[in-house]
Amino acid sequence: MKLGFSALTLTAALVLAPTAWGHDYKLGDLTIDHPWARASVGANGAAYMIISTSGNMPDQLVAAASPVAGKAELHTHIVEGDVMRMRPITAIEVNVGEPAVLKPGGLHVMLIGLKAPLKEGETFPLTLTFQKAGSVTVNVAVQSDRAGRSEHMGEHKH
């Protein structure tokens, strides 16, 4: 079968779309939207995303892993006096009707012991494990560090 230019273009777009956009992932009733990380310069980094459920039962993100780091932990920020500190937590709740928003200055996946700096424009795999839904691997898009890096580049104490 001979494909015309437009059919070939459409086929290429459909094949490349998940890599180019790669911002939505499904795992059962869960949706993981726009996983991203800031470009890094140090030994640690962080991944962010929005996780929601379309089901009628909550779930929990209980673990994360990536080949780009020695270890991945679930973290939150807490304020102690006048200092904001990151702390590991055992799970991130994904409640019905209330998405879990992982963002700078809040919940996040901490990437400890990066094997190489995270560079703008690159992607890396991150496996997320949920208590009920199981595991899914997402591609995390590395974005510019110009948006600010204070949350993960040494200004806050663990």
The Cα–Cα gap between 8 and 22 comes to 21
The Cα–Cα gap between 84 and 82 comes to 7
Write the CB contacts of 1 (distance below 8 Å, at least 6 apart in sequence). none
Name the CATH code of domain 23-147 (choices 1.10.630.10, 3.90.1330.10, 2.60.40.1890, 3.40.50.300): 2.60.40.1890
Per-residue pLDDT of the chain (158 residues; tens, 9 = 90+): 444 444 443 333 333 333 444 479 999 999 999 999 999 988 999 999 999 999 999 999 999 999 999 999 999 988 888 888 899 999 999 999 999 999 999 999 999 999 999 999 999 999 999 999 999 999 999 998 654 443 333 333 34
Phi-psi sector, 56: left (phi>0), alpha (psi -120 to 50), beta: alpha
Structure tokens at 124: 């890396």
Q: How many residues does the chain have?
A: 158
The Cα–Cα gap between 157 and 129 comes to 27
Write the CB contacts of 57 (distance below 8 Å, at least 6 apart in sequence). 29, 96, 132
